[in-house]
Amino acid sequence: MRSSVETVRKAYYVSPIGILEVEGTEEAVLAVRFASGRKPRTSEWTPALEKCLKELAEYFAGGRKAFTAALRPQGTDFQRRVWRAVAEVAYGTTTTYGRVAREIGRPRAVRAVGAANGSNPAVILIPCHRVVGKGGDLTGYGSGLWRKEWLLAHERKFGGPASGRLFKE
């Protein structure tokens, strides 16, 4: 018999642009965020976290253009709709907040899309760095605009659009 309360674990990945804390259960990743300070000495790996860490390493090495690790981000229905749309933005490309708003059927909700994008719990996996301002300006990245710029340059360097996001409901 399975418990209705899932144990949440954390693992860490040292990327070229900072330490990533990956949080999840046995079955899915719940969050990926930049951690402040030093990498903790311990990680609590689960199969889902192990797959995510492997895919992050491949991404930063330039070999992975789409993530397949099961992802179950926690948020409102609206936020999850935005994150699903953002997750479909292909590697090496960008979109705008307005375009995301239109894609989810809420063309006037550009600011709300920006707020949802800003509360993205899974940076890189949900590629909020690929969402830019109306004129193509690099705007709004909670992890620092320098990281957004780095990620976009990294994807341009390794080129080629790809998609393939798996949300686990």
Report the chain's C-alpha Rg in angstroms. Answer: 16
Told to judge if 128 belongs to the known catalytic residues of this protein, a careful annotator would answer yes
Which is catalytic among the residues 116, 128, 132, 151? 128
Closest by CA to 100, choosing from 76, 121, 72, 78, is 78
Q: Mention every residue, 6+ apart, whose C-beta is less than 8 A from residue 4.
A: none
Q: Distance (Å, rounded) from C-alpha 100 to C-alpha 83?
A: 9
Q: Distance (Å, rounded) from C-alpha 116 to C-alpha 102?
A: 14
Query: Which residues are known catalytic residues?
Result: 128
